[in-house]
Chains A and B, each alone.
Chain A
Amino acid sequence: MTGPLLGTEQLACRFGGLVAVGGVDMSVQRGDVQGLIGPNGAGKTTFLNLISGHVRPTGGAIFFEGSNLEALPPQRRAAIGIRRTFQNLRLFREMTALENVMVGLHAGTESEIFHSLLRSRKQRREERETAQASRAALDFVGLAGCENLVAGALPYGHQRLLEIARAFVAKPKLMLLDEPAAGLNGAEAGQLVGLIRRIQAAGVTVILVEHHMEVVMRACDRIVVLNYGKKLADGSPADIRDHSGVIEAYLGARLPASAKQTDVKPTGAPCSQKSAMLRISGLHVKYGQIPALRGLDMDVGAGEIVALIGANGAGKSTTLKAISGLVSPSAGTLELKGRSLAGLAPEQRVELGIVQVPEGRRIFPRLTVDENLLVGAYPARARADERQARERAYTLFPRLAERRRQAGASLSGGEQQMLAFARAMMAQPLLLLLDEPSLGLAPILVEEVAAAISRFHRDGATILLVEQNAELALSLASRGFVIETGRIVLTGSGPNLLKNPEVWASYLGQGDWEAAPDNGRREPASMN
């Protein structure tokens, strides 16, 4: 067959008065990896939702293999070969990895209730073939051996791969990947590029929505840039890189330059006993039988920004959860300004001033932006000042002020991250724990977050920052800790770690992408 695999004509979608996608013409050639990039809120995810059928267009048409998809519901589109992943990991969390992938083969199989009750020959054959194909798909994405683990218990990076396996297993014609690199470190992102290339080699056309520019540039054959629901540019990666409009709307100035605005004092020495805001010693945390932290020692001085970096599954999020009280340690001590945190519930720790911005945003979807912020000011210390604090938040994030009456769920991914951030500031934290604040943000917004972190720091907040984007984290932080399988393996001043080739090799993985898969190996017995 000739002609594009997928074509859209004046495709449009508006939510109330908000135009998410405003008349986009696009054609995707068979066998291509088609990139789709743009600032947060540009309509990229809505565009994918329109193609997968999860959102109905308000105008225009979508053609798949020459025929109009029109009112075809999502499950029918899945059956004819359009599969997708989701931005915020939508796994069947309580089912095993294998079962998750087997669900992906639902449309291609037929056994119904009676076949299952009678265990007919057909049913047994289908089950066998489904399991076999699913194992092959797990193997394909690099999750061999994880098949009997419950999906929700897998480390974050593995969950991303599992979603890809669930979509890939059905041998789709078109795969829609929504930010598959979000939350992956450099080495893992490098492996992801390899995986996308292998998916392409298996004859699958891919549409890739992604903020990780290195991934986009390396994986894509063509790139479309969206801005405010309109097509801003369309071309090869090289064209896009040099396109002045794209640089202005999306990429912004390069990151390290802006990060240097922070007035950090690069001292590598641990802070003295007296000025320590947080002190962790010998911390052990287990999930069931699996150790996540194995004797972690670190400290955060008052008024300092400290970065905690490491591979997915190394124990970064677990460390933050142990500090905020969401998981309880099996051994070790945690002290805030010399006071032990043992036995304090998460909400009591918030009262003491430990506030976390969780990974994956966790905003309240049905509350308005305004209400989300006010909930953030719940601790007694913050309540009196809540109105001023809210206005400060709006000055910091003007985009949120425009949307103050909108429900949290209606915000784009990037705006939700902003909201989570602003909500935490409402509690007037002594110690702010940031879990992946740049996750899922366009480069230009990452800069805004970096600037916001610097500003909070100048206002006297103490910040513990966990980031996959180690370059960002280390350029902001006065000190950094590198964590590996639940232990601190390296520590030093931010700038020094940034220069350390060991750190670059194992965690940033940006020096040599081809060699990255080897560097990215890690012990899978730990989890995030």
Chain B
Amino acid sequence: MKSVVARVLVLSAFVAAPFVQTNHYWQHVFCVALIGVVLALGMQLLLGMAGLLSLGQAAFYGIGAYVSAALTLYFGAPFLVAFILAGVAAAICSLLLVPIVRLPGSSLAVATLGFNIIIYLVLLNEDWATGGSFGIMNVPAPRIFGFAFAGERAMYFLCLFVAVVVYLGMERLVHSRFGRALRAISQDEDAARASGISVNLYKSKCFLVAAFTAGIAGSLYAHQARYINPYDFSFTKSIEILIMVVVGGLGSMPGAVVGALIVVLAPEYLRSSGELRLILFGALVVVLMGFSRGGVAGLVSVLGQQLTRFRPLRASKATSSGEPQ
């Protein structure tokens, strides 16, 4: 019950945001933040649930953006079709990673980073398909069943809808057989195998889902920014996505949302500090991590425990007394 109230409140705040802030630039920034949320949710599944450190999410983001832009611009595909195919194309490309999912932590990170660099170079150099360093201009605004999402506010609600659906989907996945298998793998691969889990198969599936998520985020971005170029999808974007989930708190879906908002919005709010803004942002990240290894989500749960003297552990323990071991 408590969580339902919290959800309604949070959703209301998101709905109210573009009405409270009517400046078009800020509404544009909010859209970017919501796209960041979608990216962070996919990354949370990889890193927070399955413990897979990928530095290649921006590649799938880019694949989604280019596929969606090309399909609508050159082939006249409707937005919805392009949106879904952007996710599918990214997911198919993630199959290229199947041979490397078995790599341990740091090797996997470097290998996915390499993958990101390759995709970036393809986007930059295959001019005939991608427009090279000029990118693709005049990407049409999304149009669904005749309704054009032309204004910033309409676009914001489209992004919000996608973010909410992805959030709910991730939540279902986490608490399902699939999610349990991923969490088990991240904590002990041998024990997971001994329980009947095909570790490499599930890691591949996890990459697939995360790539799909990044792909549809890319589609949203292409049609929201209306102009894309390779520089948006270099590995620094992957690092940014990583910062989102680590700052927000590993393993927490609400944390991923908060992390994405912080990473996108904080530099914008700090814009008044001029050239110092990225330094201030960096300092903010360092200080936050110094305070709580669990990121914002960890900080909130620690504060929550301090404030409420709620004792669920005790209660459930008491019921076990008297049971012979």
Interface residues of A (CB under 8 A from B): 52-54, 73-75, 78-79, 83-84, 86, 90-95, 99, 102-104, 106-109, 111-113, 115-117, 119, 123, 126-127, 130, 142-149, 157-158, 161, 166-167, 170, 188, 191, 288-290, 517-518, 520-525
Contacts and interface: CB of A to CB of B under 8 A. Distances in A.
Closest 5 CB pairs of A and B: A107-B196, A145-B320, A116-B176, A78-B196, A90-B191
Contacts of B277: none
B172 A116 contact: yes
B311 interface: yes
Query: Interface residues of B: mostly helix, strand, loop or mixed?
Result: helix
B325 A117 contact: no
Interface of B: 169, 172-173, 176-181, 183-184, 187-188, 190-199, 205, 209, 251, 305, 311-314, 316-325
A115 B320 CA distance: 34
A92 B193 CA distance: 12
Contact of A95 (B187, B190, B321, B322): B187
B323 A106 contact: no
B172 A117 contact: yes
Contact of B324 (A79, A521, A523): A521
A523 B318 CA distance: 9
A94 B177 CA distance: 16
Contacts of A518: 324
Nearest to B165: A117
A113 B176 CA distance: 8
* Listed residue (A75, A123, A170, A518) with the most chain B CB atoms within 10 angstroms of its CB: A75
A166 B180 CA distance: 13
A51 to B, nearest CB: 11
B195 A111 contact: no
Given A116-B173, A157-B325, A289-B311, 7 more contacts: A95-B187, A113-B173, A126-B177, A142-B324, A143-B320, A520-B325, A522-B325
Given A144-B320, A144-B323, A524-B320, A92 B177 contact: no
A307 B312 CA distance: 35
Nearest to B206: A113
A79 B195 CA distance: 8
Contacts of A54: 190, 193-194
12 contacts: A75-B199, A90-B191, A103-B181, A103-B195, A106-B180, A113-B209, A127-B176, A146-B317, A289-B313, A290-B314, A520-B325, A525-B314
A78 B324 contact: no
A127 B177 contact: yes
B184 A145 contact: no
A191 B324 contact: yes
Contacts of A188: 325
Contacts of A92: 183-184, 187-188, 191-192
A126 to B, nearest CB: 7
A73 B193 contact: yes
A79 B196 contact: yes
Contacts of B192: 92, 103
Contacts of B178: 111-113, 116
A145 B318 CA distance: 8
Contact of A148 (B180, B181, B316, B321): B316
Given A75-B199, A113-B178, A161 B325 contact: yes
